[in-house]
Structure 1
Amino acid sequence: MTELHTARLVLRPARSDDAPCYALGVGDFEVARWLTPVPWPYTLIMAQDWLRQAPPPTPEKSLFIIDLPNRGLIGCISLIDELGYWIARPHWGRGYVTEAATALLDWHFANSSSRAVASSAHHDNAASLQVLRKLGFEATGRQKRFSQPLQHNVDHIVSTLSRQTWLAREPRKCA
């Protein structure tokens, strides 16, 4: 079982017993509103189905639960079609996404032949856009994407992080 460890977090594969906490985190509209493909309201059955189909993580494609030791599941990070993530609202603003993404991107670029990683965020999601900037992503365009929670199209800023940029970065403390 692949796990990634950071100074404060454990990134681990999803388990079926994660479903209640997962549903609670994503079920908060203030979290869901930023997650374009996620239906809202989000139910326990949806979480069970989603987690059941999660493949084992590989450096090329992965979904990890963000686990805060002694607290449990606080979010999720994935690298499937693009880098995506969410953190439960009580844990916002503490650098957990940057820390988790740094570990995932280190693992990804060290163990795959990928030349770049894409990501995107709502144009008005200042927190996610700041995380992407800190990680070295560069905006490459804008797209309209249909938001399931908002039930309308949302302008997204599309970004790319190259292997070269990632490997040339100055490692910094993520906390």
Structure 2
Amino acid sequence: MTELVTERLILRAPRPEDAPCYALGISEFAVAKWLTPVPWPYTLSMAQDFLRSAPAPTPEKAFFIIEHPQKGLIGCVTLVSELGFWIARPHWQRGYGMEAASALIDWHFDGTGAEAIRSSAHHNNIASLRLKAKLGFVATGREMRFSQALQHNVEHVTTALSRTDWRARRNDLCA
């Protein structure tokens, strides 16, 4: 089973027993309102169904639970059509999103021939847009997407990160 281990986190495939903590973290409106495809309220049965259907992670397409060894499940990070993530509210502003996303981006570029990763965020999700800028994502445009939690269209900032820019950024950090 694939696991990515960072300084403070373990990124791993979901397990059935994750459903209660997953549902608790993602069902808080302060989290769900930023996740366009996620309905709200989000129930335990939704979490059970979703986690049961999650494919095994590969460098091409991955869905990882973010686990803190002392705190348990604190969020998830995914790269399917876009890079996406959420962190449960009690764990905000600790750098966990940056740490998890960096590990997944490294794994993706190391294991594929992909030249870029796309991502997006609500135009007013300042924390997500700031994290993506720190990762090296650059704005590529804007588009409207329907938010399940908000039940209306929301303007999204679309972004992209090239393999070249990621490697240069990682080399600068390690130098």
Q: After TM superposition, is the score higher than 0.5?
A: yes
Partner residue, 1:94: 94
Distance, in Å, in 1 between the alignment partners of 2:98 and 2:71 is: 19
Distance, in Å, in 1 between the alignment partners of 2:158 and 2:84 is: 12
Partner residue, 1:129: 129
Partner residue, 1:144: 144
Secondary structure in structure 2 of the residue aligned to 1:169 = helix
Code of the aligned partner of 2:125 = N
Secondary structure in structure 2 of the residue aligned to 1:155 = strand
Partner residue, 1:26: 26
Aligned residues: CA RMSD: 0.9
Task: Summarize the alignment of residues 3-152 of structure 1 with structure 2, pairs less than 5 Å apart.
Answer: 3-152=3-152
User: How far off its partner does 1:70 sit?
Assistant: 1.6
Q: TM-score, structure 1 length as denominator? A: 0.97
Distance, in Å, in 1 between the alignment partners of 2:27 and 2:75 is: 12
User: How far off its partner does 1:167 sit?
Assistant: 1.1
Code of the aligned partner of 2:129 = L
User: How far off its partner does 1:170 sit?
Assistant: 3.8
User: How far off its partner does 1:60 sit?
Assistant: 0.3
Partner residue, 1:164: 164
Code of the aligned partner of 1:155 = E
Distance, in Å, in 2 between the alignment partners of 1:94 and 1:142 is: 28
- Percent identical residues: 64
Runs of 5+ in structure 2 lacking a partner? Answer: none
Q: Which runs of 4+ in 1 moved over 3 A?
A: 170-173
Secondary structure in structure 1 of the residue aligned to 2:104 = helix
Distance, in Å, in 2 between the alignment partners of 1:160 and 1:39 is: 26
Residues 169/32 of structure 1: CA separation in 2 closer, same or farther (3 Å cut): same
